[in-house]
Amino acid sequence: MKAVGLITEYNPFHNGHIYHLRKAREITGANVVVVVMSGNFTQRGEPTILNKWQRTQAALENGADLVIELPTFMAVQPAHRFADGAIRLLAALQVPSIVFGAEHPDWDFDQFVQAEAHFMKDGFARYNATFATQFNQELKQATGHTLTEPNDILAFAYHKAIVKQRVGIKPVAIARQGSQYHDQSITGTIASASAIRQAVLGGRPVDQVVPKQTANDLSHLDSIPDWQILYPLLRNYLIQAPIGELQTIYQMTEGLEHRMKRAAQQSLTFNQFIRQLKTKRYTYSHLLRLCFYTVMQMREDQVQMHLQQPYLRILGFSNDGRQYLHTIKKRVSLPLITKCGQAERDHLLNLDYRAGKLYQLFTPYEQDLKRAPVMISGSGTVKE
């Protein structure tokens, strides 16, 4: 069986993702689509609008064959670490190629990887600017391009991870269809995930841009997941915890613990809090991830320990996905996990389990303990 890999968040799953699944099969000739998907929190550190089981079901019903969860300690990370984790799992699953969307699929991203290696060798502390700004200046000189669009940045990160890990995965970029990543309008049958989330928040219909089951799930949300709901937990912890304890939080650097404690003491809403934190030095994505690490009380040593013990958590599969797993399982070096019991909860899946409990502030449904993979009959191939 020939597989192709996709790295996704599906926040939420929409018609553009159906196109991506179909195109991946068409380009590669694969008969099995393996999806590595973030769990209940995104790369930016935000809660997903639908939980991971709903998004898994949607993916399997619309073209995916096997859905693997990208663990929390890999998923809620900057682009290069997010990509590195996902490529590591796909390589373990013997996937020979990945297909991903990009704003500029014709760019030579391997050339960008070489340019960064040269840049790092020469040193980058030459200007009073961030690494990204300095690198883009050098990249512009070397290639005539800059990395500013989100999917181009991820495309670069995938290429870089493949080179770094020396795995035989072929990266294939395709053009995004319909709306751009940050487009907030819905005009056709394909819209950005961001536009869909904004429409749901505003009570506007999204039926034309998402599959029927996703539309139904979005219309029956117990509450719309949002940082404002999590903020009381974050605020209380920041106010109560000693500075020395806050300093142990993953990625808590450069005195941010003092800034976060002060902002929590002065801010009654999350929007007020995040505005007080924001400076030119830190992006909103960086700060949102740090908020997630803080409310989870994730420490540097915990993250490093988990990074040394990756695993393959199966969220769902079709018959073809099950058969593919059976074919490769003797060659898979990472643990394959189908259920989270007490041992997994307390060890390998501890951070995922804790993230799931945090997510249960939005939904009454258990997210991990004793949950079995989603199974559908037949293949994940969409019937025309």
Domains of the chain: residue spans and CATH? 3-105+173-223+306-375 (3.40.50), 227-303 (no CATH)
- Whether 130 shows a pLDDT value over 80: the answer reads no
Q: What is the pTM of this model?
A: 0.93
Q: Find the helix packing angle between 284-296 and 256-266, rounded to 10°.
A: 80
pLDDT at residue 183, rounded to an integer: 60
Cα(251)–Cα(131) distance, integer angstroms? 17
Residue 47 per-residue DSSP state: B
Q: Which residues are annotated as a binding site?
A: 7-20, 101, 151, 176
Task: Give DSSP secondary structure letters for 254-315.
Answer: TTHHHHHHHHHHH-SSHHHHHHHH-BTTB-HHHHHHHHHHHHHT-BHHHHHHHHTS--EEEE
**Which of 21, 7, 9, 381 is closest to 177 using CA atoms?**
21
Cα(348)–Cα(64) distance, integer angstroms? 26
- Whether 161 shows a pLDDT value over 90: the answer reads yes
Cα(155)–Cα(259) distance, integer angstroms? 33
Q: Which residues are annotated as a binding site for ATP?
A: 7-20, 101, 151, 176
- Whether 333 shows a pLDDT value over 70: the answer reads yes
- Paired with 68 in beta bridges are 36, 314
- Paired with 164 in beta bridges are none
The string of pLDDT tens digits covering residues 234-292 is 999 999 999 999 999 999 999 999 999 999 999 999 999 999 999 888 899 999 999 99
The string of pLDDT tens digits covering residues 2-15 is 999 999 999 999 99
- Whether 110 shows a pLDDT value over 70: the answer reads yes
- Whether 16 shows a pLDDT value over 60: the answer reads yes
pLDDT at residue 120, rounded to an integer: 83
pLDDT at residue 383, rounded to an integer: 40
- Whether 380 shows a pLDDT value over 80: the answer reads no
Task: Give the mean model confidence (pLDDT) for residues 160-174.
Answer: 97
The string of pLDDT tens digits covering residues 285-312 is 999 999 999 999 999 999 999 999 999 9
